[in-house]
Amino acid sequence: MKIAIGADHAGYATKQAVVELLSRRGIAVEDVGAHSAAAADYPDYAREVARRVADGRADEGVLICSTGIGMSIAANRFGGVRAALCATPDDAARARTHNNANVLVLGAARLTAGHVEAVIRAWLENAFSAEERHARRLAKIESNAEDQDELRALRRADPELREILCGEIARQRDALNLIASENYASRAVREAQGSALINKYAEGYPGRRWYHGCEFADAAEQLALTRARALFGAEHANVQPHCGSAANMAVYFAALSPGDTILAMSLAHGGHLTHGHKLNFSGRLFNVIGYGVDRATERIDMRALAALAREHKPRLIVVGASAYPRALDFAAFRAVADEAGAMLMVDMAHIAGLVAGGSHASPVPYADFVTTTTHKTLRGPRSGMILCRDRFADDIDRQVFPGIQGGPEMHTVAAKAACLREALQPSFRAYAAQVTANARALAGTMRGDGLRLVSGGTDNHLALVDLTGLGISGADAAAMLERAGIIVNKNAIPFDARGPLTASGIRIGTAAVTTRGMKEPEMLRVGALIREVLHSAGDGKILDRVRGVVAELTARFPVP
What would the x/- binding string for ligand PLP be over residues 399 to 438, using CB under 6 A?
----------------------------------------
Among 182, 221, 301, 347, binds ligand PLP (CB under 6 A): 347
**Interacting residues with ligand PLP between 378 and 397 (CB under 6 A):** 384
Measured CA to CA, the distance from residue 40 to residue 25 in angstroms comes to 29
CB of 242 to ligand PLP, least distance (A): 8
Query: Closer to ligand PLP at the Cβ: 242 or 535?
Result: 242
State yes or no: residue 274 binds ligand PLP (CB under 6 A).
Answer: yes
CB of 244 to ligand PLP, least distance (A): 3
DSSP code, position 314: -
Residue 202: phi and psi, rounded to 5, are -150, 50
CB of 404 to ligand PLP, least distance (A): 12
CB of 540 to ligand PLP, least distance (A): 32
- Give 17-21's long-range contacts (Cβ < 8 A, gap of 24+): 17/113, 17/116, 18/62, 18/64, 18/106, 18/116, 18/120, 21/116, 21/117, 21/120
Query: Closer to ligand PLP at the Cβ: 315 or 350?
Result: 350
Among 66, 245, 412, 515, binds ligand PLP (CB under 6 A): 245
Query: Closer to ligand PLP at the Cβ: 324 or 431?
Result: 324
Measured CA to CA, the distance from residue 436 to residue 445 in angstroms comes to 15
State yes or no: residue 270 binds ligand PLP (CB under 6 A).
Answer: no
CB of 488 to ligand PLP, least distance (A): 15
Among 107, 204, 244, 505, binds ligand PLP (CB under 6 A): 244
Measured CA to CA, the distance from residue 508 to residue 443 in angstroms comes to 8
Total interface residues for ligand PLP by CB under 6 A: 14
What would the x/- binding string for ligand PLP be over residues 356 to 375, using CB under 6 A?
-----------------x--
User: If we measure between CA atoms, which residue out of 432, 442, 305, 437 comes closest to residue 378?
Assistant: 432
**How many angstroms separate the first and last alpha carbons of the chain?**
33
Measured CA to CA, the distance from residue 26 to residue 472 in angstroms comes to 77
Residue nearest to ligand PLP (CB): 244
Stretch that binds ligand PLP, among 142-150, 239-247, 449-457, 537-545 (CB under 6 A): 239-247
Q: Are 86 and 123 in contact (CB under 8 A)?
A: yes
- Determine which one of 376, 490, 507, 516 is catalytic: 376
- Determine which one of 60, 182, 347, 397 is catalytic: 347
Query: Closer to ligand PLP at the Cβ: 241 or 357?
Result: 241
Q: Cα separations (Å) of 60 from 8, 26, 99, 171?
A: 18, 15, 14, 40
Query: Closer to ligand PLP at the Cβ: 227 or 272?
Result: 272
Q: Are 75 and 61 in contact (CB under 8 A)?
A: yes
User: If we measure between CA atoms, which residue out of 382, 387, 414, 418 comes closest to residue 400?
Assistant: 387
DSSP helix/strand/coil, 124? helix
State yes or no: residue 182 binds ligand PLP (CB under 6 A).
Answer: no
Whether the CA torsion 450, 456, 461, 463 is positive or negative: it is negative
- Determine which one of 91, 117, 174, 203 is catalytic: 203
496: which residues sit within 8 A by CB, 6+ positions away? 268, 503, 504, 505
Among 181, 359, 455, 473, binds ligand PLP (CB under 6 A): 181
Active site residue 67: no
Q: What is the DSSP string of 448-512?
A: BTTBEEGGGS-SSSEEEEE-GGGT--HHHHHHHHHHTTEE-EEEPPTT-SS-TTT-SEEEEE-HH
CB of 135 to ligand PLP, least distance (A): 40
Active site residue 397: no
What would the x/- binding string for ligand PLP be over residues 284 to 323, using CB under 6 A?
------------------------------------xxx-
DSSP code, position 391: G
Measured CA to CA, the distance from residue 371 to residue 364 in angstroms comes to 10
Measured CA to CA, the distance from residue 335 to residue 344 in angstroms comes to 10
Q: Are 2 and 49 in contact (CB under 8 A)?
A: no
Stretch that binds ligand PLP, among 52-60, 184-192, 346-354, 425-433 (CB under 6 A): 346-354
- Determine which one of 2, 47, 382, 525 is catalytic: 382
Stretch that binds ligand PLP, among 34-42, 238-246, 334-342, 428-436 (CB under 6 A): 238-246
Among 350, 379, 490, 516, binds ligand PLP (CB under 6 A): 350
Q: Which residues on adjacent β-strands are paired with residue 504?
A: none
Active site residue 205: no
Stretch that binds ligand PLP, among 98-106, 237-245, 456-464, 499-507 (CB under 6 A): 237-245
| Residue at 260: amino acid letter | D
Active site residue 431: no
Number of residues that this document lists for the chain: 560
CB of 150 to ligand PLP, least distance (A): 25
Active site residue 347: yes
State yes or no: residue 445 binds ligand PLP (CB under 6 A).
Answer: no
Q: What residues line the site for ligand PLP (CB under 6 A)? A: 181, 243-245, 272, 274, 320-322, 347, 349-350, 373, 384
Which residues are catalytically annotated?
201, 203, 347, 373, 376, 382
